[in-house]
Amino acid sequence: MNVYLTPSISDRLRGNSYPGRGIILGLSQDGKTALAAYFIMGRSANSRNRVFTLKNGELFTEPYDASRVEDPSLIIYAALRQFENKLIVTNGNQTDTVYEGLAAGKSFSQALEARCFEPDTPNLTPRISGMFTLEADKPRYEMSILKSIDPEGSDCARYTFSYPARPGLGHFLHTYVCDGNPIPSFQGEPERIKLDEDPGAFAASVWESLDADNKISLYLRAVDLTSGEYTQVLYNKYN
């Protein structure tokens, strides 16, 4: 497998004003570090009024200006948590659903059976989720998208993708194809990207490639698969 033929994250993002929220999971080029990144974007004042914050090793979305919050239901949540050796990252409060499901003995996909797409008609935004199993000898990750089966939101289509982690390779899953009204939901399987930069440079590349008007926040965690220790990078447009 020649990962160098795979597009970079910049190739995937540039020129697309609104991929929405995005999750990236993959393995560093030397095969020693698990990478997990999550970014959010927004078009409305309510969506843009957010920052990422860290509390006890977990990532949260929070209001930048609490006095301007209109509806917190779909924009305020824990975005990244860890259960044992499972690193969970999602675009909504299904982070807690996966965490609680794992604690109850369920698998990633079984936990998500209790959830569906977001009730934000007419967009019916997909719920996207990822889980990295942090094992030095067999690192792997899963990604999920729950999306409406039709424009009316009559039922939920569920897709789960499982990947053995390979050096220099990552997968990118985002909520929307591009901007629109309504916004078209992501299509197909997670997109392959190459991970040939160090974590800080990769995070900077993601941030710089996101549309300047619509980007809000970005977080990246790089976990050493042997020690479990991690470094992190956080960008907030409004902080």
- Dump pLDDT digits (tens) for 85-111: 999 999 999 999 999 999 999 999 999
Please say whether the beta carbons of 75 and 61 come within 8 A: yes
Answer whether residue 156 shows pLDDT above 70: yes
Confidence of residue 134 (pLDDT cuts 50, 70, 90): very high
Torsion of the alpha carbons at 51, 9, 110 and 157, rounded to the nearest 10: 100
- Beta strand ranges found along 175-228 (DSSP E): 191-194, 215-224
Please say whether the beta carbons of 190 and 143 come within 8 A: yes
Question: Structure tokens of 139?
Answer: 């690192």
H-type alpha helices, the chain: 9-13, 45-48, 94-103, 108-112, 199-209
DSSP letter string, 61-112: EEESSGGG-S--TTT-SEEEEEETTEEEEESSTHHHHHHHHHHTT--HHHHH
H or E segment at 8?
A: none
Answer whether residue 138 shows pLDDT above 70: yes
Answer whether residue 53 shows pLDDT above 60: yes
H or E segment at 229?
A: none
> What is the tens place of the pLDDT at every residue in 9-42?
999 999 999 999 999 999 999 999 999 999 999 9
Q: What is the pLDDT of residue 2?
A: 54
Rounded Cα–Cα distance for residues 107 and 83 (Å) = 12
Answer whether residue 63 shows pLDDT above 70: yes
Confidence of residue 73 (pLDDT cuts 50, 70, 90): confident
Q: What is the pLDDT of residue 118?
A: 96
- Give the residue-averaged pLDDT of 142-167: 98
Please name each of the domains of the chain with its CATH number.
3-236 (3.60.20.20)
Average pLDDT, the chain: 95
Q: How far is CA 159 from CA 112, 145, 150, 203, 207, in A?
A: 10, 5, 15, 27, 27
